[in-house]
Each structure stands twice: as C-alpha cells, then as structure tokens.
Amino acid sequence: MGLQLDICDPAMGGENMRVVELPARLSSQQKAAVIVRLLLSQNVSPALDRLTPEMQADLARALASLGPISRVTLAEVVREFTARLDGLALTTPNTLADAIALLEPHISPTARDGLRAEAEAGDPTDPWTRLAAMETDRLRPLLMSESAEVAAILLSKLGVAKAAALLAGLPEARAQVIAHAVSLTATVTPAMVERIGAHLVEQLDSVSESAFRASPVDRIGAILNSVNGALREALLGGLEARDKGFAIEVRRAIFTFQHIPKRVEPADVPRILRRVDPDVVTRAIAAGIEQAPLSVEFLLENMSKRLAEQIRDDAGSLPTLRPDEGEAAMAEVVTAIRALEEEGEIRLIPPED
C-alpha cells in the first residue's frame, strides 16, 4: 500500500482533514514485478523465458515481496514505465547470439563462426545457455542419437521456434515418438534436467569440428554440377566402382538442368528466369531442346505465353551452339536455382529415393 498523509483543506477553514495517498516506495526489481503482474493480468506474455534463470528467480522473489498494490502506486509505476518507453529510440540485441542473428547477412563467415563459438561458450555453468545458442543443424543429430525422453527434454528447454524447426527436420516416425515423449516429462526434476543438459554439451564438445561446413556428398555434388555431362557420368562411374553407397548419395545431391521438372516448383520458374541473363536463357533453351526437352517444356509452360513464344522463336533462330556453349548456358540456369535455394527464396523438391 502507499503512504497516507492528513492534509488540511483550506476551503473548510482548516477544520476538516482529507487523506492523500502517496505511491509506495519500490525498488527497481519490484517495479518490474508490478509491470509483469499487470501484463499477466491482461493475458499478455512478457517473454520472461528470454531472461537468464537468475533474473527470472529475482523477478519471482520481487513479485512475492510486493503485497497489495494501491491504485496510486500502480499508476505511478505505469507512468514511469511508459515515460521510459517514450524516451526509447532504439533497441539492441540482449545476447551475443541475438547480435549474430542480426549481423549474419553482413559479416564474413570467419567472423560469424568465431562469434558463434564464443556465444556457445556462454555461461559455462549453464549448459542450456550453450545449447540454446547453437544452430539447429548442430543440435539435430542429438535428436536422432539420444533417447526419445532426452530429445523431448531438449526440445522443451529450447525456444518454441527453434524446437519447431528441429522437429520439422526429423523423419516423421522419429518426430512422432519424440512428440509423444514430451508427455512423459512431467515428473522430471530440475536436477535431472541440468544433468541432461551437461551430458548433451559433453556429447557435442567431444565431436571435433570439421574444416568444411558442407558434407562430403554435398561438396562433390556441387563440383560435379559444374562439369559437363560426359565427364560427370565418367566420374560417377568411377565412384560407383569404389564406393557404391557414396556414389548413390552423390547422385541424389547432384542437380542438373535435366532435374528441373522434378525438383523445381512451377511457381518458382519466373523468379529463376529473372535471375538469369535473357541471352543465357535463350541459349539454355536452344541447347536443352535436344539434351533436356522435358526441362525446356517445363520452363516454357510456367512463364507467360508471350514470353515463352518469344524465347522459343529466339532459340530457334540461333546458329548451332557448340556443346560447351550449351552446357555453360544450362549450368548458369542451374547456378541461379542453387543460389536462390541457398538464399531461401525458393525450396527445391527433395529428390526421389
């Protein structure tokens, strides 16, 4: 409650007194707790999970110490809070991981990787802080190798968006098992959760970091994408003779002009063609009429009729292309598709088994 003062009312000749209530004196933590309580009373989530465990504990203790809050005190706390918001011109990331996410498109891979390692180190006493800062690609193997119960606890301790991304990237059967395992975690103790977090960090720390970001399959697949078809088939034949399983995976990773109808969504064709020089598109169509007719028809059918007729006419009027010229033009179209996929502008259809 707030303080109360007895004040004489001059209008009544000083004979009557009226009570004036003053706001209670609260610490900064208590004021924060008042705002949180107000937000919760209006069913507004204050995103407390973004605070450190220590800050969350301090907030809970401050909330427990408040007692009843008078209208005057609440009004004063809200007034002070809104005044600070009005004076706020810019917000900055609260954690190094948030800063990396903001800067990632604008910094070099070397700087990004070094900062990620620093962010993952985080608070060495809290394994979950490190796990929360890690990329989904690094965490996903844990969901496959650990028990369903441990995987369920990992998902439960991560943010909703990251947990959803991890679950969506799993095979359907495994995702269903882990989703069900979440229902079995109600009786897990905090001490057990901490031990599990420490175990998961230990597992990841024991895996030496590769010098290459892409897998061997993706690396050789990208190389073979850029060579001519005859050489590509010769190299794949040699791979099959040495390691048939590896060769099969490489074939799945390869994406060429011939794969376009099976791997590209029709609605993405206009976006792809805008990325490629029109003269290159014309040469690719001219070369593809003989080498990949299904791809040519797919591309022409999924652009405007007028543009398709123009490209078909231009391709038909070109002099006969040398094989290397046709290969180069089709490779540029493939390169544009790969670039758009890496930028997240399009999504390729997964290759058939």
Evaluate whether residue 108 is within a structural domain.
no
239 and 311 within one domain: yes
pLDDT, position 10: 54
300 and 330 within one domain: yes
3-state secondary structure 21-57: EECCCCCHHHHHHHHHHHHHHCCCCCCHHHCCHHHHH
Evaluate whether residue 102 is within a structural domain.
no
**CATH number of the structural domain spanning residue 251:** 1.10.220.30
Domain total of the chain: 3
198 and 261 within one domain: no
* pLDDT tens digits, 249-262: 888 778 889 889 99
Contact between 273 and 281 (Cβ < 8 Å) = yes
Half-sphere exposure of 132 (CA within 13 A, CB side): 22
pLDDT, position 5: 47
For 31, the domain range is 3-86
Evaluate whether residue 316 is within a structural domain.
yes
336 and 225 within one domain: yes
Q: Which residues pair with 7 in a beta bridge?
A: 18
* pLDDT tens digits, 98-110: 788 888 888 887 7
Q: At what angle do helices 172-181 and 160-168 cross, to 10 degrees?
A: 140
Task: Centre a 10 Å sphere on the Cβ of residue 329 and count the other Cβ atoms it contains.
Answer: 23
pLDDT, position 210: 60
Two structure tokens written together for 248: 């099969």
What is the rounded CA–CA span in Å between residue 283 and residue 295? 14
Two structure tokens written together for 43: 């069913």
Evaluate whether residue 348 is within a structural domain.
no
Q: Name the pTM for this structure.
A: 0.42
* pLDDT tens digits, 261-317: 999 999 999 999 999 999 999 999 999 998 899 999 999 999 999 999 999 999 999
338 and 229 within one domain: yes
154 and 52 within one domain: no
Evaluate whether residue 353 is within a structural domain.
no
What is the rounded CA–CA span in Å between residue 330 and residue 219? 20
Decide if pLDDT at 213 tops 80: no
Decide if pLDDT at 322 tops 50: yes
- The span from the first CA to the last CA of the chain, in angstroms, equals 70
Mean pLDDT taken over the chain: 83
Evaluate whether residue 92 is within a structural domain.
no
Where a domain ends, among 205, 229, 247?
Answer: 205
pLDDT, position 55: 85
Evaluate whether residue 99 is within a structural domain.
no
What is the rounded CA–CA span in Å between residue 265 and residue 348? 7
304 and 225 within one domain: yes
3-state secondary structure the chain: CCEEEEEECHHHCCCCEEEEEECCCCCHHHHHHHHHHHHHHCCCCCCHHHCCHHHHHHHHHHHHCCCCCCHHHHHHHHHHHHHHHHCCCCCCCCCHHHHHHHHHHHCCHHHHHHHHHHHHHCCCCCHHHHHHHCCHHHHHHHHHHCCHHHHHHHHHHCCHHHHHHHHHCCCHHHHHHHHHHHHHCCCCCHHHHHHHHHHHHHHHHCCCCCCCCCCHHHHHHHHHHCCCHHHHHHHHHHHHHHCHHHHHHHHHHCCCHHHHHHHCCHHHHHHHHHHCCHHHHHHHHHHHHHHCHHHHHHHHHCCCHHHHHHHHHHHHHCCCCCHHHHHHHHHHHHHHHHHHHHCCCCCCCCCCC
322 and 226 within one domain: yes
Where a domain ends, among 29, 61, 86?
Answer: 86
* pLDDT tens digits, 109-168: 778 777 776 766 555 567 888 888 888 888 988 998 899 999 999 999 888 888 888 888
What is the rounded CA–CA span in Å between residue 311 and residue 326? 15
Contact between 122 and 130 (Cβ < 8 Å) = yes
pLDDT, position 123: 54
249 and 300 within one domain: yes
Two structure tokens written together for 338: 């790969």
246 and 326 within one domain: yes
* pLDDT tens digits, 51-95: 777 888 888 998 898 888 888 888 888 898 888 888 877 778 777
* pLDDT tens digits, 23-52: 778 888 888 888 889 888 888 888 887 777
Evaluate whether residue 117 is within a structural domain.
no
What percent of the chain lies above the pLDDT cut of 70? 89
Where a domain ends, among 164, 186, 205?
Answer: 205
**Average pLDDT for 328-349:** 88
70 and 49 within one domain: yes
pLDDT, position 270: 94
* pLDDT tens digits, 286-299: 999 988 999 999 99
Q: Which residue has the tokens 């800050």?
A: 55
Q: Report how far Cα 204 is from the mean position of its chain's Cα atoms.
A: 20
The torsion region of residue 196 among left (phi > 0), alpha (psi -120 to 50) and beta comes to alpha
197 and 168 within one domain: yes
